[in-house]
Chain A
């Protein structure tokens, strides 16, 4: 009987107000590829952050090769044999591959603090060769290397620490299709060398191709660990999704034969290919796909942040939208996915944030009409129930939910016909979520046409009148109201060729 290289027992992690993980246990054996799956927010990333030394657990123990360990920080974890490769690579593009592998390592420094270049290059080349990266010249600067080669460098760096455990976070997300195979070759070599690999991914197909075991997390708890031969795609999804969608979502009345407000025809640009759809008055149209499927690209195209081919037709007339200001003029509003970077100006007041898109209408000869601005901000603070002592407060001090309401509010004030919502409840607590869902529902009742893009399946299913599923930039399926459940949705979005959706 082999002994586990890693044993996590009873791990819990609490953040102020949230329990991210409760009593999770996880075992990892040498030479196995162990897939970790779960929906967004299930606790995968928290567990991996604990394992790689970013967080320390509130409760529970980690045993590495039988010895109990604690990690002070990621470097500490790396030295003790646990390395993580993030979705976004952490490489210095202006340094050589070898320098990246051995950066800040005393063993490469010789007498008089000189770097032992030849030793470093030899050692780096040996590591890279050992995982099948023979075609990579480690003397090359990283920026000249392709994505796959960069990933190999990351893995080599992890191995240079004598890694026993390697965590790969969505390793295929950054890779083009033809390079995924090469990555699997690398993973197979590592497995043969006895490295234990945690493979975090949303992509079903890959899990079945590469993993030996799979552990599913849901709502911060472990559901089960099983051998890959014991599960099917269906049963995995069932485990990930669990219970049915609750009362978070308002009941939507179906209206038919409403006029078409927005028509997208053959929209194409980088990840999106010939995307066509219609959005009707008062409708909530869900757009769902895994990261990289093109949903974000479509939103950016519609709001004029990016240009591409194809036609956008609003109220029957083809329009050109080449900038956000043109989109605004056509009464399109966009609540972007990252509110900190794209939604709010933190040091500025709620009032200023709410009024920014509408300032041309709220000023005379460019002089601000303070009275009307105050009136407007009061109106939207009440309408959206933004909780703050006054509208003069800086948005920095608001909770995530209230900040998100400010972002929605600033666009409602602009009185749009079409509202694009992308990840409208990211980083928002459950109470505020329900409020935001109610607001979205209310707005659609009032005749606003809404395009809802979200990676949270329950949200898309609970709110949308229709759902379009994107896979690799094309629409592969349309669900009518009430037709979709999470299993089918995930299946269509991750593996459209299987006919499992008809089961």
Chain B
């Protein structure tokens, strides 16, 4: 066994040398091939969407430019930028507080602040509307109290949409920044302080730049999710690119125009991703994976109380109050809906989430390693695999469906016919189509934490291991996987929870009998029966807590 020395810093497969002759196929080339196939498969739905340009939709574009386009562009930009800034500020400050300081409740707030992750954006949106709109308890209570002097306010505002999205998406940044700060350890800060930096300087000049890959990865996930969001903006009737896509499809019966709009949205995201890469630039920080000293600074009593209050109030608005409201609705509606079929919903939701999380994380790992050893051109090719996250779910699902339908009709049907078997479709309406849509959509989510933890890995460690004769799969097993564990764990949790919350692709691609909790929520909310949606929504949150708690326990053991 001899390692290929040229591939330093990467997961290089061992080249098997037998009697002085190299076998042509190495693990590395197999992995590279698999990675390329993965990216190509992830890009097929986009090719289908780009085919939308083959038809002439000048008239629709003229109409859009004359009426709504400027508003749509403005709203989409405002939403993307505001949510990006909001999640970064909130996520980083919470992570910094819980990692670096000691204050009352820190031990449990540390993990509790991840809980809003389990809250689907559309659920928080309808809870906020239910609490604060005209018929909600707040305004009704004030009205009862003040009588005629009370004047109602309309909660449906741009700021509310932005706030809701920040509250559900900040955990992306929080989780990634938290593990980055944790792995930095307090040594870094101590050294900086010894060298005469103030705490502020140490944070802005040392700790934050070192955590930048993680923070940027988290924020870009939040922004992409925001751009693809339909549920929340629909509840607040806030017009974005996504609503225009659906309007073209459902209102104008024009799927081609919808596809063209969707590809324009992709352009937005492409630019954003490019900017992200630029901002990351040459910054690459590595550190040892050795357990870091974590010395938390005690805060003055006043500051400690302020810290607790800040964390607690975010947790309350984003999680505790909405859950209580859901619970209240559940109690009002009763538990009639809980029957044998309900257990089926629960188990299918969990199963799809678990399977999809494993597939997605495995593929993301494959891509991450391939990217690491690739040149600049190939690297941007691998990056294309992440685009799926930015497409509105339904549009991506249609792309997946059309490509599988083409396979069914052009490939499988003729073969079946040739074999003399009755023709029926194998792929569309199968679990495989659904799982494909999931991993294409959520590859970017798994990619973020894996990539950023891989970037923090000092290249000398695998080199040293290789020097000691560890190579190939054992290098993966013994060095990489253990050292990437926090990142992998985060990736599994994020994808797991995201898949369970996913609604449009599940609706379109599920085979019959594969209803999930998200499907049940859709059934209720689409008719405006939000109180009846409370039970499946609450169940979804509880089920979504499982992976979050498992990860928290695992990282506590770490």
A binds B: no
Interface residues of A (CB under 8 A from B): none
Interface residues of B (CB under 8 A from A): none
